[in-house]
Chain A
């Protein structure tokens, strides 16, 4: 090679190109302690990856990058996604990284990888997420942890013995993770109970939403909607939380579980809240060129995404209300209103979350004071909401929900095709722990 004395001209940024959703695959979601009780995050993510690879004939294919994550993660899983890739049928040269944004993990991996594709950094990607509430990491107590770390640093046997002598019975009690917010000590359900009460969401409205979720999910299974979105695992071929035969009466008979110690009227039950769930999901993303070269379908374009967070510690907003702020910003940037969408996928952490979100958007005062609008942000056509069911019926393995939503919506948009001389359009909204929310727009093709 010869050195050039010519100055290389300033590099011009590459133009942005579309990133498409090729398809998805998830394993059925299982209620915690069920079919996947003994399966680890890595097991489930590997299974979801292998199903995706099989669906699209990608065995030994080198993918641009794989990103996934888990909310409840063992320290041994420091490189969870890469390890899952190595255990999968993908080419071992496929790079991978872990990402964690609580329940928004899955959606954020889609947005991040889609951006890399749009920028031309990679041509193909797999986004995903996994969580096991059954195989949650149990840490040693803080006291024992410090003793063990000191022990590791000790040099002589004498030092080690004296360090070991510090162990007290209480140090041996394990430290299990809780779904409580570290800064408030309130569980997610308790936070939502406060928000649900604040927005005066009735028990009946929550139960109705839960019923619709089960009915819609059951109907989607019935017409084989998930045949090319799901691969069975451990003998489970359907989400185990699905209750196709539930009814308003059955839901109404359940006792409240959240909000009982908060003074407010308790309306949140096990029926209108998502259970702890195990599962994994993946989404195959690509540039148009890569998809075409591999003769793979293109279901939808990943248009744009937005994250927001709220100050729930000081009680200014509900823990799960960040999407209320993210969506107006995202739509404003894209010159859209709620009326410009054909499908809404609003993650059902709790029925109260969805209904509080809709109530805030429909509230004149909130729109003016908090969203800086002239009035209410708007309302959505409820017949376009979670039409194939959502987390209340399917369950919610935290980091896996985003991939479920994106693959489901992409297929729905592709099936709908175009409408009103434009591609079918869908909005995804995911609330997350820590007062966060991530939202995204997809367009069918």
Chain B
């Protein structure tokens, strides 16, 4: 937290941010704009953020978690998402928000967060880089107790602006293709995702990105059908892994192929134990139950302090 941060007086509305993003996109198409390779220089911050307990409960039920008073790790991401969005809709942000693809989330959940705790959320962008399919960027979010200094939750989300190539950013020499070498193992679970899975998650997370909402809105953005939120998949797999102990933990999920809706995702979760027999980590993967094509993979692990 620095004095130089852009301070937002209140939590921005995601709906307005999406409208804003659409307007920016339209303006860019109409007026053209000079491509920039610089990220906004300062972080954006909001203070006094409180979880909406009713929405949080709906979220917990939707992803299959018991409604505890501790805010789920994925829900903290959702709470912070408008702040990250407000970074991405800034005029000095070099990539178009709409149509951006979620590649990866890395989260360190350092301490449990009570729903009643006022929070400050800070976000900035970093590591603008070339990708074999466009340009990627990392959005960092840090969550602290309001007025506190300890980071409680830190997340790094990697997004890809598909087909956007910025001058001066080279494609990586050997783009690792995470779809390679995936052999579907025996699943430990099957998720049947209905056509409304995107709308349902949008309702509890507030993320009304049109590519998740309907075939129509998805097609408008070049997708053949609507797709499931990456964060919904992450939240469900986190719920299935259960509550890690100790409560400090990290998780990491990489998204390979989108999950078109409706769809059936096969999931496998496997545990590793520490020398003393306690839980150390879980790895997980999700794939198309019919074709075997991988959708996502990742891990959850204890944070040894």
Interface residue A303 (Cβ < 8 Å from any Cβ of B): no
Which partner residue on chain B sits nearest A181 by CB separation? B189
Contact between B242 and A313, CB atoms less than 8 A apart: yes
B51 CB to closest chain A CB (Å) equals: 20
Docked complex Cα distance between A190 and B271 (Å): 21
Of residues A186, A190, A198, which shows the largest number of chain B Cβ atoms within 10 Å of its Cβ? Answer: A186
Contact between A184 and B186, CB atoms less than 8 A apart: no
Interface residue A76 (Cβ < 8 Å from any Cβ of B): no
Partner of B186, one of A185, A264, A312, A314: A264
Contact between A183 and B186, CB atoms less than 8 A apart: no
Return chain B residues, CB-CB under 8 Å to A170. Answer: 196
Which partner residue on chain A sits nearest B194 by CB separation? A170
B272 CB to closest chain A CB (Å) equals: 10
Interface residue A316 (Cβ < 8 Å from any Cβ of B): yes
Interface residue A339 (Cβ < 8 Å from any Cβ of B): no
Interface residue B101 (Cβ < 8 Å from any Cβ of A): no
Partner of A261, one of B64, B191, B290: B290
Contact between A185 and B270, CB atoms less than 8 A apart: no
Contact between B271 and A314, CB atoms less than 8 A apart: yes
The verdict on A262 contacting B240 (CB below 8 Å), with A183-B64, A185-B192, A315-B268 known, is no
Docked complex Cα distance between A222 and B9 (Å): 83
Contact between A315 and B190, CB atoms less than 8 A apart: no
Residues of chain A at interface, number, CB under 8 A: 21
A346 CB to closest chain B CB (Å) equals: 24
Which partner residue on chain B sits nearest A183 by CB separation? B240
Partner of B190, one of A182, A190, A311, A316: A190
Interface residue B218 (Cβ < 8 Å from any Cβ of A): no
Docked complex Cα distance between A316 and B264 (Å): 22
Contact between A185 and B190, CB atoms less than 8 A apart: yes
Interface residue A194 (Cβ < 8 Å from any Cβ of B): yes
Contact between B196 and A313, CB atoms less than 8 A apart: no
Interface residue B241 (Cβ < 8 Å from any Cβ of A): yes
Partner of A184, one of B190, B242, B282: B190
The verdict on A312 contacting B289 (CB below 8 Å), with A170-B196, A182-B64 known, is no
Interface residue B269 (Cβ < 8 Å from any Cβ of A): yes
B186 CB to closest chain A CB (Å) equals: 5
Contact between B271 and A316, CB atoms less than 8 A apart: yes
- Binary CB contact string for chain A from 163 to 177 against chain B (1 if under 8 A, 0 otherwise): 000000010000000
Contact between B271 and A263, CB atoms less than 8 A apart: no
Interface residue A197 (Cβ < 8 Å from any Cβ of B): yes
Return chain B residues, CB-CB under 8 Å to A262. Answer: 186-187
The verdict on A184 contacting B189 (CB below 8 Å), with A170-B196, A261-B289 known, is yes
Return chain A residues, CB-CB under 8 Å to B282. Answer: 314
- Binary CB contact string for chain A from 248 to 284 against chain B (1 if under 8 A, 0 otherwise): 0000000000000111100000000000000000000
Contact between B191 and A185, CB atoms less than 8 A apart: yes
User: Lowest 4 CB-CB distances: which A-B pairs, in order?
Assistant: A184-B189, A315-B188, A185-B190, A314-B269
Query: 8 A-B Cβ contacts within 8 A?
Result: A181-B189, A184-B188, A185-B189, A186-B187, A186-B188, A313-B189, A313-B242, A314-B269
Interface residues in chain B, defined as those with a beta carbon under 8 Å from any beta carbon in chain A: 64, 184, 186-192, 196, 240-242, 264, 266-271, 282, 289-290
